[in-house]
Structure 1
Amino acid sequence: MANDSRTLRADAERNRQSILCAAAAVFAAHGTDVTLETIAREAGVGVGTIYRRFASVEELIGVVFEEKMSLYADRTELAAEQALTEPWAAFRDYVLYILEQQALDLAFSDVIASPNRGTEHFRVQMNRALAASILLVDRAVAAGALRSDFDHSDLYLLTTANAGLIRGTRRSASDAWRRFGEYMLQAFRFRTDGEVLTPPSRVLTRVQQKARTGG
């Protein structure tokens, strides 16, 4: 009986890992707008097997992206720290890192645009990354590495535009994101004689407020 129990647990864990691997592949190729049925087919299991472990696609997204969001938060904090001594290099490399992650994984664009989804651990990591990215921008602007009218919300505009670019060109020009990124980095660094519109008004989240005040 004990051996039977161990075998059942081992089978269950194998199924779970198959589901997570399949979900990661589906999300990377198609984004998060997929069904559990699609993931079940990729994993080679019945959809009921997935439902016994994950109640929804949202729950599965949270679990699949926990580790990736932890690495993303670590990378963002590293960039914010580097900005103390190398503000432009820190910002440039961070931007290219984000754009590349979007190109490698379509779901990455979806999850960074919706920081309140997924598991509690996922949300903690997203908030950590957000706070660090605000600090990075503040330090780069203060050091004169970025144009003085650059706003943190411009990163959201950048990633949103890049997400659309990637979806539209991934089959015909899969590295178009890199050229786009270089163009935008030049725009972020150098201010011309022209004026740009002020960022749209928005309510700061508690994380943003704490990041700016040091609270």
Structure 2
Amino acid sequence: MLTTEAVPAAPEKALRVDAERRRQALLCAAASVFLTDGLDAPLEDVARAAGVGIGTLYRRFPTRDALVEAVFEAKMADYANRAEAAVIQAVEDPWAAFAGYVHDIIGMQVADPAFGAVLLRPMQGSELFSGAHARALRATRRLISRARKAGAVRQDLRETDLYLLVAATAALVAEPGPIRADAAARRMAQLFLDAVRGSSV
């Protein structure tokens, strides 16, 4: 009796490892391309930097937003975590908590200008990003409320003022002029803090 042997399939584990390797290559390439060329950089450049075809990129990340979310997932979570940590710190020292949070935001933007662009252009309809933004917004409101009640900041300070600071920092980092971007951003943050400092500090 004749039997036909099936050709052994590639081990499932090896396929998963290979797929994850390509995914990580795409994420690393995207982070680098976004850092130098911004969030609107051609995705073909990302695929080329990762050493894969554009079809491979789209199979793993069907849209630009999906790729952006995957690249910045950890930073978005860190951003929200920092805001929540500042709220806890504000119970004991509201001014230090607020000032530290401002410097945290500025530092994250200087380290990765593309992340600053993400903060200014949240993805619509994304459970991941909308959840992180909602956490950060709630925490920021509580932080400012505590700082206002303690007299640590001006009574008319709002969370939208921090958005204006993020926008100004993004522009400054993009075109720092004769001053280094990190030094210019730190200086602007200090001027902002001096402007919103309350009477009790």
Instruction: Report if TM-score (shorter chain) is over 0.5.
Output: yes
Q: Is the 8 A contact 1:109 1:159 kept in 2?
A: yes
Q: 1:122 aligns with which of 126, 129, 137?
A: 129
Q: Could you tell me which residue of structure 1 aligns to residue 118 of structure 2?
A: 111
Q: Could you say what secondary structure the match of 2:60 adopts?
A: coil
Residue pair 1:165, 1:177 contacting (<8 A) in 2 also: yes
- TM score, norm. by length of structure 1: 0.82
Is 1:142 matched with 2:153? no
Structure 2 residue aligned with 1:205: none
- In structure 1, runs of 5+ residues without a counterpart are 192-215
CA displacement at 1:2 relative to structure 2: 4.6
Equivalence for 1:29:
36
Is it true that 1:184 corresponds to 2:192 in the alignment? yes
Specify whether residues 170 and 34 from structure 1 end up closer, same or farther in structure 2 by C-alpha distance, changes over 3 A only: farther
- Asked if the contact 1:115/1:127 (under 8 Å) is kept, the reply is no
Letter in 2 for 1:55: P
Question: Percent identity over the alignment?
Answer: 47
1:19 maps onto 2:26 in alignment: yes
Aligned pairs, number: 191
* TM superposition shift of 1:114: 2.7
Cα separation, partners in 2 of 1:179 and 1:75, compared to 1, 3 Å: same
1:6-65 deviation per Cα after TM superposition (whole angstroms, max 9, x unaligned): 333322111111001111222233331212112112212111110111112111011111
Structure 2: where are the runs of 5+ without partners?
Answer: 1-7
Q: Structure 2 CA distance, aligned partners of 1:28 and 1:118?
A: 24
- 2:3 is matched with which residue? none
Aligned pair in 2 of structure 1 residues 134, 30: CA closer, same or farther (>3 Å)? Answer: farther
| Structure 1 position 96, deviation (Å) | 0.6
Deviations for 1:157-192, whole angstroms, at most 9, x for unmatched residues? 11111110110018851221011111111011158x
Runs of 4+ in 1 over 4 A off after TM superposition: none
CA–CA separation in structure 1 for the residues paired with 2:48 and 2:178: 24
Whose radius of gyration is greater, 1 or 2? 2
Mapped contact 2:44–2:54 kept (Cα < 8 A): yes
User: Root-mean-square deviation (CA), in Å?
Assistant: 1.9
8 Å contact from structure 1 (residues 27, 105) kept in 2: no
The secondary structure found in structure 2 opposite 1:80 is: helix
Asked if structure 2 preserves the Cα contact closer than 8 Å seen for 1:102 and 1:163, the reply is yes
Match of 1:159 among 166, 175, 194: 166
**Partner Cα distance (1:120, 1:4) in 2:** 34
CA contact 2:116–2:166 (8 Å) conserved in 1: yes
Aligned with residue 94 of structure 2, among 87, 100, 109: 87
Q: C-alpha distance in 1, partners of 2:134/2:90?
A: 19
